Chain A
Amino acid sequence: DAGVIQSPRHEVTEMGQEVTLRCKPISGHNSLFWYRQTMMRGLELLIYFNNNVPIDDSGMPEDRFSAKMPNASFSTLKIQPSEPRDSAVYFCASRSNGAETQYFGPGTRLLVL
């Protein structure tokens, strides 16, 4: 099993640009989570999906952030326009229905200049 796959692993962009982060959950997992990690705020849940449906997006910081899960094997997190304060590591995690363990992907390190 390849585990959770995220791309890109690193992204450097300029303020105002659109950023798209991608995630492929573990095959067969029904829940997908997007987290943001910063030194100041720690690990924050942004949004999570169950069976491709957004269940809780209360952690999405503002309208500049959007997430989609068009099918069971793919999700995107988009920031438009990006700002320097969005610089962070973004993790995707997935979980199987009926289980509690979340498995994290390797993360995308985003730097907005």
Chain B
Amino acid sequence: GENVEQHPSTLSVQEGDSAVIKCTYSDSASNYFPWYKQELGKRPQLIIDIRSNVGEKKDQRIAVTLNKTAKHFSLHITETQPEDSAVYFCAASKRSQGNLIFGKGTKLSVKP
């Protein structure tokens, strides 16, 4: 079955710097890759997603890139702010099956 590896497990940056979180997946049939943000004590919430027919997607300060050949995808956050501090999860799925396989999460801390 699918396996998703996520790195790093913790990331600390200075406010205004960029943050990059990387994930790899094992199943070449996976074609949907969402990213969720989970604040302390809250539910995971989708922040951006990408499908396998696209190499990059951007939404304001966040962007996701996908390399299907290498089977990895990354989340990029620019101009980080303290409110970006949270745990970020990547996930992968085959749309026809519907279940998401999550990475272990990255705890991002943005220092003011």
- Chain A residues with CB under 8 Å of B32's CB are 100
CB–CB B43/A95 < 8 A: no
Interface string of A89-111 (1 = CB under 8 A from B): 00100010000111111110000
Binds B, one of A16-24, A48-56, A61-69, A78-86: A48-56
- Shortest B70–chain A CB gap in Å is 22
For A101, the chain B residues whose CB sits under 8 A away are 34, 46, 49
Indicate if the CB atoms of A105 and B43 lie closer than 8 Å. yes
Is the CB of B58 closer than 8 A to any CB of chain A? no
Q: What total of chain B residues lie within 8 Å of the partner, measured CB to CB?
A: 22
CB-based contact A45/B45 at 8 Å: no
Q: Mark B39-50, 1 if CB is under 8 A from A, else 0.
A: 000111110010
Q: Are B49 and A100 in contact (CB under 8 A)?
A: yes
Min Cβ gap B39→A in Å is 12
Decide yes or no whether B100 CB sits under 8 A from chain A. yes
- A39–chain B nearest beta-carbon distance, Å: 10
CB distance A55 to B98 under 8 Å?
yes
Query: Which A residues contact B (CB, under 8 angstroms)?
Result: 31, 33, 42-45, 48, 50, 55-56, 91, 95, 100-107
Closest A-B pairs by Cβ, 3 of them? A104-B43, A43-B102, A42-B104
Can you list 24 A-B contacts with CB-CB less than 8 angstroms, sorted by A residue number? A33-B99, A42-B89, A42-B102, A42-B105, A43-B102, A43-B105, A44-B102, A50-B98, A55-B99, A56-B97, A91-B44, A95-B98, A100-B34, A101-B34, A101-B46, A102-B34, A102-B100, A103-B46, A104-B36, A104-B43, A104-B44, A104-B45, A105-B43, A106-B42
